[in-house]
Amino acid sequence: MNYIQLFSPATVANVSCGFDALGLALETVGDTMTFTKTDTRGVKITQITGADLPTDPKVNAAGVVALAMLEKHPVNFGIDITIHKGYTPGSGLGSSAASAAGAAFGVNQLLGNVFSPLELTQFAMLGEEATCGSPIADNVSAAIYGGFTLVRSYEPLSIVKIPVPADLRVVAIHPQVEVKTKDARAVLPKEVPLKDAVTQWANVGGLISGLHTSDYQLIADSLTDIIVEPARKHLIPYFDEVKQQAMKAGALGAGISGSGPTIFTLCKGDETAEKVYKIIQETYQDKQIDFNMILSNINTEGIKILEQH
């Protein structure tokens, strides 16, 4: 194979109760990337559209990943990469993760599939570290594995893919305000009361069980974050109002996607999802803040090959 074009999905991380441990992949939003073998060794990012990002591979999430992979598995060819950002960086929807995971997947295809999904996740984490400051795996694992993923352990890295109930939908709003990951991390509590920790652990267990058994009521009961969301929600304008209206319209739950500012909801079925979409849109329409809306199935496949030869 000399060329591959792929779609690398946007992702929702934390999923309320699963801070830094849970992620899910979206179907309708993501990056389109191409990877082409060249005679000149090394990695070149020849084009980035849709966002103003560095093309120097040493500081670009995709470039960092590609360089690390070629160092681990040397070859007698080079790779040219193009990236079209399908959504805004800093949205809380895993923008750097889509590029990093896409690079891991695309380069692996040109190398002849020499690395496992777990190894691809480890490479993609290097891209996260280079751009966000920490090698987190929740977004990149969801993009690579698809569906819901649980980062069960970091040392050693252990990723568990969780089943997705057929009628689960995601509705999200991305207000056009900036929330820096650094700032969102700075407001987190350094210590958590044991009682709150126990509640949060129980909710993660309930959510995983609900996903396995397609128990939508259990999913709804478990989509509660009593630790991170209360500390961060003031960074997102009208968060409480959006959440309240979404729940009234029938959402199973609502929360902050990643470190924000995107607010996500999970819904059962298309009818409820459309109702929730409409009410969130109406809630934000008079707020003098630009926003984008997302309605998506959960992407159970992860990164998708669009063209190859």
pLDDT per position as a tens digit, 274-309: 999 999 999 999 999 999 999 999 999 999 999 999
Cis amide linkage into residue 163, ω under 30° from 0? no
> Quick one: average pLDDT of 128-150?
94
Question: For 119-128, 181-190, 292-301, which range has the lowest pLDDT when averaged over its residues?
Answer: 181-190
Longest dimension (CA), the chain: 60
Least confident of 89-93, 104-108, 152-156: 89-93
Across 133-279, where does the E strand assignment appear?
A: 148-154, 157-162, 168-175, 253-256, 263-268
What would the mean pLDDT of 4-32 be, rounded to a whole number? 97
Give the containing element (helix H, strand E) for 144.
helix 138-145
CB-CB contact of 103 with 43 (8 Å): no
Query: Is pLDDT of 180 > 80?
Result: no
* Alpha carbon distance 43, 112 (integer Å): 17
Q: What is the length of the chain?
A: 309
State the pLDDT confidence band at 134, using cuts at 50, 70 and 90. Answer: confident
pLDDT at 128: 93
Name which of 32-36, 56-60, 97-101, 177-181 the model is least confident about: 177-181
pLDDT of 59 reads 93
**Res. 210 pLDDT band, cuts 50 70 90:** very high
List the catalytic residues. 128, 181
pLDDT of the residue at 233: 95
Instruction: Give the whole-angstrom CA distance, residue 143 versus residue 76.
Output: 29
Confirm if 159 and 121 have CB atoms less than 8 A apart: yes
The answer to whether residues 93 and 173 touch, using CB atoms and an 8 Å cutoff, is no
Which residue type does 102 have? G
Statement: residue 235 has pLDDT above 90:
yes
Can you tell me which residue has the tokens 């899910």?
24
C-alpha pair distances (Å), 269 with each of 166, 219, 274: 9, 14, 9
| pLDDT for residue 184 | 83
Do residues 142 and 94 make contact, with C-beta atoms less than 8 angstroms apart? yes
- State pTM to two decimals: 0.95
Omega cis (within 30) before 54? no
CA distance 126 to 57: 12
Specify the pLDDT at position 36. 98
Grade residue 33 by pLDDT with cuts at 50, 70 and 90.
very high
Tally DSSP H helices, then E strands, for the chain: 10, 11
pLDDT band (50, 70, 90) for residue 176 = very high
Which of 85, 103, 80, 95 has the alpha carbon at shortest distance from 31? 85
Rounded CA gap, 22 and 94, in Å?
13
**Residue 185 — very low, low, confident or very high, per pLDDT cuts 50/70/90?**
confident
pLDDT score at 236: 95
Share of the chain above pLDDT 90, in %: 94
- What is the chain's mean pLDDT, rounded? 96
The pLDDT assigned to 183 comes to 80
Q: How are beta strands 22-38 and 291-297 bridged, if at all?
A: unpaired
Query: Residue range 70-84: average pLDDT?
Result: 96
SS3 293: strand
